[in-house]
Structure 1
Amino acid sequence: MKEIFEWERFLMNELPFKFLAEVIVRSTIMFVFLLIALRVTGKRGVRQLSVFETVIIISLGSAAGDPMFYEDVGIIPALVVFTTIIFLYRFVTWLTGKNVWFERLIEGKTVCLIHEGRFSISAFKKETLAQDEFFSELRARSIEHLGQVRSAYLEPSGEVSVFFYKDEDVKYGLPLLPHLYHEKSKKIFKNGLHACAFCGNVLDLPAGSAVCPICSREEWVAAIRTMRLS
Structure 2
Amino acid sequence: MALWRTLFGITGDPSILQMSLRALIVFILTLVLLRVGGRRSLGHRSAFDLCITVLLGAVLSRAIVGASPFFSTLCAGTTIVVLHRIIGLLSIWSPLFDKIVSGSARILVTDGIIDRHQMRAGLITDTDLREAVNKKMGTTDIKEVTKVVLERNGELSVFAKPDPNAPKPP
Q: Same fold (TM over 0.5)?
A: yes
Contact persistence 2:122–2:150 (CA under 8 A): no
Structure index of larger Rg = 1
* Structure 1 residues 106-165: Cα deviation after superposition (integer angstroms, max 9, x where no partner): 111111010111101111111111221221121122124111111111111222222222
**Structure 2 residue runs without a partner (length 5+):** 13-42, 166-170
Alignment correspondent of 1:157: 153
Identical-residue share of aligned pairs (%) = 19
1:119 aligns with 2:114: yes
Alignment correspondent of 1:129: 124
Alignment map for 1:133-144 (pairs within 5 Å) = 133-141=128-136, 142-144=138-140
Alignment correspondent of 1:86: 81
Aligned equivalent of 2:92, options 92, 97, 100: 97
Q: CA deviation at 1:101?
A: 0.6
Which of structure 1's runs of 4+ aligned residues deviate more than 2 A? Answer: 4-7, 9-13, 166-169
Aligned length: 131
**Structure 1 residue runs without a partner (length 5+):** 14-46, 170-230
What TM-score comes out, normalization by structure 2 length? 0.68
Aligned equivalent of 1:59, options 52, 55, 59: 55
Alignment correspondent of 2:46: 50
* Structure 1 residues 49-72: Cα deviation after superposition (integer angstroms, max 9, x where no partner): 321210110111011111212x34
What TM-score comes out, normalization by structure 1 length? 0.51
Aligned-partner SS, 1:167: coil
Alignment correspondent of 1:73: 68
Distance in 2 (alpha carbons) for counterparts of 1:56 and 1:48: 9
